[in-house]
Amino acid sequence: MSSPHPPPPPPRRCAVIRGLSPMVEMPKRRDILAIVLIVLPWTLLITVWHQSAITPLLTIRKACHHLVKEIFIIPERLAARRHRLADDGAEGRHETGQGSDSKEYCSSDKDIVEVVRTEYVYTRPPPWSDVLPTIHVVTPTYSRPVQKAELTRLANTFLHVPNLHWILVEDAQRRTPLVSRLLRETGLNYTHLNVETPRNYKLRGDARDPRIPRGTMQRNLALRWLRETFSPNSTQPGIVYFADDDNTYSLELFEEMRSTRKVSVWPVAFVGGLRYESPKVNAAGKVYGWKTVFDPHRPFAIDMAGFAVNLRLILYKPQAYFKLRGVKGGYQESSLLRELVTLNDLEPKAANCTKILVWHTRTEKPVLVNEGKKGFTDPNVEI
Amino acid sequence: MRLRFKLKTVFILYFTVSLLGLIYALMHLGKLHSLQGHTKKEPTKPHLPTIYVITPTYARLVQKAELTRLSQTFLHVPQLHWIVVEDSSQRTDLVSHFLEHSGLVFTHLHIPTPQDRKLQEGDPNWLKPRGVEQRNEGLRWLRENIWAGETAEGVVYFADDDNTYSLQLFEEMRWTQRVSVWPVGLVGGMRYEGPVVEQGRVVRFHTGWRPSRPFPLDMAGFATSLRLVLRNPEARFDGNSPMGFVESSFLQGLVTMEELEPKAEMCTKVLVWHTRTEKPKMKREEALQAQGLGSDSKVEV
């Protein structure tokens, strides 16, 4: 039983330090001193925190499952040089050296704008994170004059994306030194494959024969490689994206696709003879159709650059490949997607498919008239 | 008595806790600061010359895409200042927003091309030189805003928005003393075009078209030191020069062929390509728009 004590006296200045009644003048000053001492640490804290909020070079939007992560990227001199992902299927990589400092906070928001505080490390990919899902980008490529240029600027884009694994598949009998050298020099995490499309499937010159889709065999080889390298039971999450080497990708796109659970979709500019093609999203956030002019009744009226698939789905459905023969123009994407997912399962990204984050640009074929029959320029100079 | 004891303890506890918390936070922040403070200096080394990249641009369908992938390349280059000059009578929202979110150090200018110098629909690309007024505007801005009194260490490079640039190129051009040159891929109807170097000096130019030009180079094939640009306020591009002579009209007053500095391993490597992007076919869009059903114009492409 607690002994009764007198009710708290009315708030008078001297009430705080009752027992020190001899010092009647001092309590006033003591009061102030006490209040100052209480407030001071908090103001200091607030100002210092405020000042240390340095403008980020990159802001990455990430859908965390109730987690917010702050990644402090280590400066250049501490970062280890990145190595190519081993062909024997090593999943993910670990930081050598200091590693990244990370703190986790719980938050109720699902989509959180994450500030990646970085001292920018020029020309190197961001350090590997153990938490972010890996984006496996499958790019088929073939030899032509603009190939090195296309791959160079694509690499410049990919060097900004954390946890990116580039699977470059050449349409060639063997891996060319041009591509091998380029991949090595970028410092990106890559896998270099090759498969030659048999002559009767290749596009002849500029002949627009829509029955023979280019890059199909290369993409299928990449899918097979993924299935051979990763097991369905592995915990390393991954996303598979098919990126052609002449398109243009914004950095935001990669962060949008990172949260794919099954298959996510978004609009693509300059396809289908329109400014952009996009999935139709209803008020409930579900895809119910396709906003296209060219054959909108295709099962998946979407461009190759307009969707991404969760790696686990690829691994669980090992029979799903792009159809090689007898595919009508524009149906190639459907040939893969219909084996993986239904319309209902599609996840719309890019603000419910209202923002353009990828452009289906095409590079002009350069007219090399002045080369003549024998070639005017030194063939040893690589372009 | 008990009351006083309680309160005093409470206060002492409070002070200790908040003090500990503050010390912890300060230590943590101090760690961050020293990390940031130390490395923040590294990318912005005071003696690293700034590369001023002047890019003329104009509104068309692929503009945002081109600028996007260009900015992705530039973000890798330290000490780069991007001067974007729009061919327009005012700054467009698209470019303004884009530059603000690009993360680059930029200057946004604009100047319209006079109507008689503009290419009309159906004109081939080479008929009239493009971007002349915009590049001159970029030069004018540099001359008015960068003081020659400062250690004017810098390089000026004219980068069109549809070309492809490797990262190594910028490190090659950074230490230009006067004018440096290198080969450009996929230009002039050839695999590459560029200077021919013998014993460390440029002796002639390897080009398939009009090699008699004073400087048969492409715009992307040379960079000028800032000092030279500031010391020669009259040097600018001449829009009236005949086809292919635009670069020469600028370089003629600035430097002689003997003074050119060859880069890219004595001009044997191609580090920049004159790529061009196809104009996307909008037949269906136009058909839809005729019916009033065009794709949402509020969506920025």
Q: How confident is the model at residue A364 (pLDDT cuts 50, 70, 90)?
A: confident
Q: List, as own/partner pairs, every contact residues B99-108 make where C-beta atoms lie below 8 angstroms and the sequence separation is at least 24, other chains included.
A: B102/B71, B102/B75, B103/A57, B103/A58, B103/B71, B103/B75, B104/B71, B104/B74, B104/B75, B104/B80, B105/B80, B105/B81, B106/B81, B106/B82, B107/B81, B107/B82, B107/B83, B107/B141, B108/B84
- Measured in degrees and rounded to the nearest 5, phi and psi for residue A351 equal 55, 60
- Mutation target for B interface from A55, A275, A370: give the one with most B CBs within 10 A: A275
What's the mean pLDDT when you consider all of chain A?
Answer: 75
Q: Could you say which DSSP state residue B277 is in?
A: B
Contact A383, A148 (CB under 8 A): yes
- Mutation target for B interface from A152, A252, A255: give the one with most B CBs within 10 A: A152
Quick check: B150 pLDDT over 90? no
- CA-to-CA dists, residue A364 to A141, A146, A168, A347, B163, angstroms: 16, 9, 22, 34, 11
- Measured in degrees and rounded to the nearest 5, phi and psi for residue B276 equal -130, 140
- CA-to-CA dists, residue A370 to B189, B210, B245, angstroms: 5, 11, 19
What is this model's ipTM? 0.80
Quick check: A89 pLDDT over 70? no
Q: Could you say which DSSP state residue B101 is in?
A: H
pLDDT digits 0-9 by tens, A11-56: 555 444 454 445 555 568 888 887 887 788 788 777 766 666 543 3
Please judge whether B186 and A293 are an interchain contact, meaning their C-beta atoms are less than 8 angstroms apart: no
- How confident is the model at residue B54, as a pLDDT? 96
For residues A261 and A347, what is the distance between their CA atoms, to the nearest angstrom? 8
For residues A179 and A168, what is the distance between their CA atoms, to the nearest angstrom? 9
Nearest CB partner across the interface for B36, out of A54, A149, A359: A54
- Is the pTM higher than 0.80? The answer reads no
Q: Is residue A333 annotated as a catalytic residue, yes or no?
A: yes
Per domain, the residue ranges of chain A are 134-359
pLDDT digits 0-9 by tens, B60-75: 999 999 999 999 999 9
Q: What is the mean pLDDT of residues B261-268?
A: 93
Structure token pair of residue B244:
């292919």
Q: Does domain A134-359 have CATH number 3.30.450.20?
A: no
pLDDT digits 0-9 by tens, B79-129: 999 999 999 999 999 999 999 999 999 999 999 998 877 777 667 666 678
Nearest CB partner across the interface for A275, out of B11, B273, B295: B295
- How confident is the model at residue B149, as a pLDDT? 56
pLDDT digits 0-9 by tens, A148-187: 999 999 999 999 999 999 999 999 999 999 999 999 999 9
Residue B84: in which H helix or E strand, if any?
strand B80-86
